Amino acid sequence: MKDIIIIGGGPGGYVAAIRAAQLGAYVTLIEKDSFGGTCLNRGCIPTKTLYRSAEIINLLGRGQEFGIDIEGYNINYSNILKRKDEVVGKLVNGVEKLLQDNDVEIIKGTAIIKDTNKVEVTLDDDSKQVVEGKNIIIATGSIPAKLPIDGMDEDGVLTTREILECADRPNDLVIIGGGVVGMEFASIFNAFGCKVSVIEFLPNILNGVDSAISKRFKSMAKRKNIDIMTNAKVTGIKKCNSRLQVTYESKNKQKSIESDKVLVAVGRKPNLDNIGLENVSINYDKKGIIVDDNYETNVEGIYAIGDVNGKLMLAHEASHQGIKVVENIMQVNDDIDSLVVPSCIFVFPEIACVGMTEQQAKEENINIETGKFMFSANGKAMALGEEEGFVKIVADKDTDEIIGVHILGPHASDLIHEGTLAIQNRLHVKDIIKTIHAHPTLSEAVHEAALDVDARGIHIMPKRNIK
């Protein structure tokens, strides 16, 4: 009997398997598709390879700003997709090698829970294999959500998975959903030369992001000719000759827009079907499998991590949950607090956030002070030609503790981790202020934002009551 059976080899499952093996557990990992899950195969990594190609296209278009005359370059979309597949393939093979090197038993097939310690696997040749284990970890991830409207099955209406496999670059693209995924694809395909239109049901795009950032980014996206319709409800999609017509309701009026392709980016839902939850009476709802603080279900010895529990659909959070679960199982008392989770949005420029927004802090009646520093006053950003955006720090005025960091600007996804470390360890604004930041670097913007909280900014217009 195995110590741990893991169903799903995504960023939650494979990380849990490796950590469990490191701790001496006998582990079986069951995966029906490629290792790495949605993130590696159909999400984070393939989109970041497209993002990098889009970033280079944007730079080529600005060559003259840097004293470089560039003429006659072409976008070879098939080669862009080829590079994407090569990067994904290397990483998938790398994950499998890591599992093998850690002596994790790998079974390729479709798993269904038969009993509290028994999993049946249908192998690729349709034969059955039964695996028994003391503990079971469900890490089956999530799948794209669909809208309950007519036309979702029309040819050319794509999920986020399908658009990554689409061989032809569309001339124009309507994206339903102005959240993180929708705006990432909007930024990428806009750079590829597509006419992009985004339809968002809510009043603002990037719901949950600090309002100053979402408003600024919306303005920047519109300047790049991305059409954004907010407070707009999509009511249907239909074929119109060789094109697709999307109808939507806005300001009590019915409107429509046509495009080559339609991308549905309205979120994801937990992958709960056909994994045997009913066989052992595991509790779940539409948000996912219900778990406690240790990610254990109502059935002792069965856990659920990552997107399938619906707590926070981020790959790095799934990995942390996986580590926490196996360390609890193996009775390792490393206290992993995953409440402080950064999030990154790969648009142009990048957005990254951690902790509370100014709006959230005010709703909780926290007495706050904020500091902001514009990248337009940062020497490294100016040298890079990436001057748009800012760093914003939210601090508890009574304690000086940093409770939120929000960045719109170059390399935001890298800069955010100073804020994550600060919030995780309950550091104060003065701790950032006292830390020397190398010059010239983008990280100086974080330092200056901290100084601004304390009304001590150097490369910024002075505040009153300088301390």
Residues identified as active-site: 439
Cβ atoms of 419 and 431 closer than 8 Å = no
Flag whether 48 is marked binding. yes
Query: Hey, which bits of 273-397 come out as E strands?
Result: 284-285, 288-289, 302-304, 343-345, 351-355, 368-374, 390-396
Q: Work out the angle at residue 183's Cα, subtended by the Cα atoms of residues 377 and 176, and round it to the nearest 5 degrees.
A: 155
CA-based nearest residue to 368, from 378, 358, 355: 358
C-alpha 245: how far from chain center: 29
CA-based nearest residue to 312, from 277, 287, 294: 287
Flag whether 354 is marked binding. no
Question: Bridge-partner residues for 197, per DSSP?
Answer: 174, 227
Flag whether 307 is marked binding. yes
Q: Is 132 helix (H, G, I), strand (E, B) or coil?
A: strand
Structure tokens at 21: 């093996």
C-alpha 235: how far from chain center: 27
347 DSSP 8-state letter: S
Question: Which strand (E) or helix (H) includes residue 144?
Answer: strand 142-144
CA-based nearest residue to 26, from 98, 95, 104, 117: 104
Flag whether 251 is marked binding. no
Flag whether 340 is marked binding. no
Flag whether 184 is marked binding. yes
Flag whether 364 is marked binding. no
What secondary structure does DSSP assign to 401-429, as a single string?
A: BEEEEEEESTTHHHHHHHHHHHHHTT-BH
Q: Work out the angle at residue 362's Cα, subtended by the Cα atoms of residues 356 and 368, and round it to the nearest 5 degrees.
A: 75
CA-based nearest residue to 329, from 359, 357, 296, 291: 296
Flag whether 288 is marked binding. no
Flag whether 267 is marked binding. yes
Flag whether 180 is marked binding. yes
Q: Is 219 helix (H, G, I), strand (E, B) or coil?
A: helix
Structure tokens at 233: 């409800």
Cα 191 to Cα 214: distance, rounded to the nearest angstrom: 20
Flag whether 310 is marked binding. no
Flag whether 444 is marked binding. no
Cα 255 to Cα 244, 305, 360, 447: the distances in Å are: 14, 42, 34, 47
What pairing do the DSSP bridges indicate for beta strands 128-138 and 118-123? antiparallel
Cα 362 to Cα 432: distance, rounded to the nearest angstrom: 23
Cα 245 to Cα 414: distance, rounded to the nearest angstrom: 40
Instruction: Pick out the residues of the known binding site.
Output: 48, 140-142, 177-184, 200, 267, 307, 313-316
Instruction: Pick out the residues of the known binding site for FAD.
Output: 48, 140-142, 307, 313-316
Instruction: Pick out the residues of the known binding site for NAD(+).
Output: 177-184, 200, 267
